Amino acid sequence: DTEVTQTPKHLVMGMTNKKSLKCEKHMGHRAMYWYKQKAKKPPELMFVYSYEKLSINESVRSRFSPECPNSSLLNLHLHALQPEDSALYLCASSQPKRGETTQYFGPGTRLLVL
């Protein structure tokens, strides 16, 4: 079972709102990822968690705040976003091993910032 689920599927928010994206994995992977994907572009890595600890932050602006409350859940808290932050936000999981490990993606949350 390689399933990763994400909620909500769609989200519309204003620039002053605070919202959260949720990701849940249903397998024994201990590495989790957040990616941002703009239309017709490849996914761009934002954060990596390994064993529930943040190991990579790809210089993401502070209006995005990740959280890993346990080994199955990953959240992305959003605050004071800009319209250019509108994108598909993807969660993925893998074995916590550098290199040679497949990342499995969830369906994504499509975010629109007005």
Partner 1 sequence: GESVGLHLPTLSVQEGDNSIINCAYSNSASDYFIWYKQESGKGPQFIIDIRSNMDKRQGQRVTVLLNKTVKHLSLQIAATQPGDSAVYFCAETSNSGYALNFGKGTSLLVTP
Instruction: Kindly tell me which residue out of 41, 57, 61, 82 binds partner 1, with binding defined by CB under 8 A.
Output: 41
Single out the segment in contact with partner 1 by CB under 8 A; choices: 13-21, 49-57, 62-70, 73-81: 49-57
Q: Does 50 bind partner 1 (CB under 8 A)?
A: yes
Q: How many Cα atoms occupy the beta-carbon half-sphere of 78 within 13 Å?
A: 24
Q: Does 27 bind partner 1 (CB under 8 A)?
A: no
Query: What residues from 79 to 98 belong to the interface with partner 1 (CB under 8 A)?
Result: 90, 92, 94, 98
